[in-house]
Amino acid sequence: MAKVLLISGSPKKEGNTVQSLQKCASKLEELGLQTEIVSLAGRQIRSCIACNKCTGNGVCSIDDGFNEIADKAREAEGLIVGAPVYFGTARGEMMSLLQRLGKVSYGNDRFLSWKVGGPLAVARRGGAAATIQEMLMFFFINEMIVPGSTYWNMLFGKGPGAAVRDDEGVRTIERFAENVGKLILKLS
């Protein structure tokens, strides 16, 4: 069964970003795909130090839980990442994870190539589009397939649970998840 890995870059285990990814996971499961949500909450994912020790062996030299996530990404056919917006950009741990994941893939068998997925951003107000663009660079440079939706994959809300009450945002990310799932099924 095809699998989609969803990664939350939020420091909150049950916050708006995880809740948004749960909406995506439900839509993917309706299509018969297996899903797994991994949260970066409580983890301290460090930045890539460009040591190149991962080249050829597929294992990052930094022991902070990254390799477990990289293995899950390697095995999945799809990857959806969600990040809260912090001062107009994605949270640091999310970008560190994406940069290291790209490095491990690129320096080895390019396991990210042809995977289907994309980013979503959760914001109180502004910065969501810039955050999506920032994360899209990871998907594009790793030769991944990013389907569209009815709008940009952004949700708005300040307090706990507010983002999943953003009706248009939820419709947008559910359609995006559906498009990810249908594309994976067509490519399988």
pTM over 0.75: yes
Query: pLDDT tens-digit profile of 59-111?
Result: 999 999 999 999 999 999 999 999 999 999 999 999 999 999 999 999 999 99
How confident is the model at residue 29, as a pLDDT?
99
User: In the numeric block, which tokens belong to residue 162?
Assistant: 């507010």
Q: How far apart, in whole angstroms, are the C-alpha atoms of residue 81 and residue 4? A: 10
Question: How many domains are there within the chain?
Answer: 1
Reduce the DSSP state of residue 109 to 3 states and report it.
Answer: coil
Determine the structural domain holding residue 118 and report its residue range: 3-187
Q: Nearest Cα to 177, choosing from 37, 13, 51, 75?
A: 37
According to DSSP, the residues that pair with 78 across neighbouring strands are 4, 116
Could you tell me whether strands 89-90 and 116-123 are parallel, antiparallel, or unpaired per DSSP bridges?
A: unpaired
Q: State the average pLDDT over residues 152-166.
A: 96
Interval 105-123: pLDDT, tens: 999 999 999 999 999 999 9
Q: How many CB atoms lie within 10 A of CB 49?
A: 11
Beta bridge partners of 83: 121
Q: What's the whole-number mean pLDDT along residues 24-34?
A: 99
First to last CA, the chain: 10
Percentage of residues in the chain having pLDDT higher than 90: 100
For residue 34, what is the domain's CATH number?
Answer: 3.40.50.360
Average pLDDT, the chain: 98
Q: What pLDDT is stored for residue 109 in this prediction?
A: 96
- Identify how many contiguous H helices and E strands the chain contains and give both numbers: 5, 6
Give Cα separations from 108 to 54, 56, 94, 111, 139 (angstroms).
8, 5, 21, 8, 17
Which residues have C-beta within 8 Å of that of residue 133, sequence separation ≥ 6? none
Q: Categorize the per-residue pLDDT at 9 as very low, low, confident or very high, splitting at 50, 70 and 90.
A: very high
Q: Are the C-beta atoms of 10 and 22 separated by less than 8 Å?
A: no
What confidence category does residue 131 fall into, taking pLDDT thresholds of 50, 70 and 90? very high
